[in-house]
Amino acid sequence: MSAWRDRLPAYAGFGAVLSAAGLPIYIYAPKYYADTYGVSLTALGAILFGLRLFDVVQDPVLGWISERLTKGKAAIISAVSLLLALSMIGLFAVPPPINPAIWFAITITGLFSAFSFLTINFYAQGVMKAGPAGQVRLAAWRETGALLGVCIAAVAPTILMDLSDDPFGVFAYGFAAATLAATLFIWPEWTGRSTAAPAQIREIIADPSTRRLLILALVNATPLAVSSTLFLFFVEARLDAAGWEGPLLVLFFLAAALSAPLWSAAATRWGEKRVLLVAMVLAIIAFGFAASLGAGDAGLFAVICVVSGATIGADLTLLPAMFARRMAQVSPNGGQGFGLWSLVSKFTLAFAAVLLLPLLERAGFSAGEASQPASALATLTLLYAVLPIMLKVAAIALLASTDLETTDD
């Protein structure tokens, strides 16, 4: 069937907006508040971790609500999209009227609470729309759009620095406009829930295949969270390539976006497990080369960004599709299941923020300084490149021992 007739571009567009509000903000917001308002990295890490602790309660509740939304579903989701847009404006376009750390906590809580609610409903709607058989096709559109959204959000502030005195403010208002457009485009898709009874969290967790996929997602996504949290610091301090952060980020996520349809096609031919294992091995090789880089190696790092970005395309396309296919069988409404999936995904970012930023600061790293002590640079390399290798090895072991056939029962 035609992709336009199935309205798959609407999923790509909304995925782009959500992704622009997710990972790039974790990359930019801590550095922005550290450089602009002098908020310590330890304080920022503590705030982000506290938000993730809040998600432990919030995301399952949002999943419960999602499974029971019927009348007025489109209007409610659109109202939450407005909250997402206003929170972004508050985070970047409004000078903190109170203590910057408190303002950061308030605005990013609003941003990520809206992000959670929208993400859960977005993925749950995909479960109901595509069913078990259509998840890889839907995921290819959704995740390609999401990765293109990340690309735009990653490069926009850098480009705007040459065009405006307030690049992050302009970015925030541009994001709000894009959110409005994507919300209107996807409005007809917000149909009621499945006729199946809402699932209970204990029933979802009791399913062995679901548990295995959630654990695999947790371990496999953490390297991306680690590298994303430290990316700007690594490029600026370790590679001594200030000004190249934006282009390199775009290269990374563009490689991910362009590779997503290829990984999807490869998985259709050779199976998700085999293709994911190949992608994980490539990621280990890329991080291994990154560990050897130093000042002046921005060109070599660009090659690494292409390879590692391409492997992320596999992670972000195939794992959600596998989980959605399982949810179509275990929890057809999808809300509770993707509440757990959202929690796992964000926990990895919280882990990175609360553990890595304080460790980096204790090693003598000072954000925004032109010169960093050798111990800080060594710690930065260890955290950015070596830690993800260890995590990827663990993810390979988990995937190799997982019988994916059971997810199709």
Tens of pLDDT, residues 34-67: 888 888 878 887 887 787 778 777 777 777 777 7
Confidence of residue 1 (pLDDT cuts 50, 70, 90): very low
CB 346 within 8 A of CB 21: no
Among 214-228, 291-305, 376-390, the minimum mean pLDDT is found in 214-228
The model's confidence at residue 407, banded by pLDDT at 50, 70 and 90, is very low
Closest CA to 316 of 54, 22, 84: 22
Which has the closest alpha carbon to 275: 265, 267, 284, 286? 267
pLDDT category of residue 130 using cuts at 50, 70 and 90 = low
| 261 or 341, which is more confident | 261
Number of H helices, E strands in the chain: 16, 0
Torsion on CA atoms 65, 69, 73, 78, rounded to nearest 10: 0
N- to C-terminal Cα distance for the chain?
26
State percent of the chain over pLDDT 70. 87
Closest CA to 241 of 298, 189, 319, 193: 298
The whole-angstrom separation of Cα 378 and Cα 8 is 45
Q: What is the mean pLDDT of residues 72-91?
A: 90
**Cα distance between residue 235 and residue 28, in whole Å:** 13
- For the cut 70, the answer to whether the pLDDT of residue 128 exceeds it is no
- What three-state secondary structure class fits 255? helix
CATH architecture of 8-408: Up-down Bundle (1.20)
Greater confidence (202 vs 387) lies with 387
In this predicted model, which residue has the larger pLDDT, 132 or 293? 293
With cut-offs at 50, 70 and 90, classify the pLDDT of residue 409: very low
Contacts for 401 with CB less than 8 Å, ≥ 6 apart: none
pLDDT above 90 (res 107): yes
More confident site: 390 or 316: 390
Q: What are the residue ranges of helices labelled H in 135-207?
A: 135-160, 167-186, 201-206
Mean pLDDT throughout 117-133? 71
Per-residue pLDDT at 285: 95
What would the pLDDT profile of 91-100 be if each residue is shown by its tens digit? 998 899 999 9
> pLDDT-based confidence at 176, cuts 50/70/90?
very high
Which backbone phi and psi does 159 adopt, to 5 degrees?
-65, -40
What is the pLDDT at residue 332? 61
Q: Which of 126-135, 148-157, 242-251 has the lowest mean pLDDT?
A: 126-135
Which tokens sit at 164?
């405006």
Query: Which position has the higher pLDDT, 79 or 188?
Result: 79
**Which residues neighbour 115 within 8 Å (Cβ) at sequence distance 6 or greater?**
18, 21, 22, 84
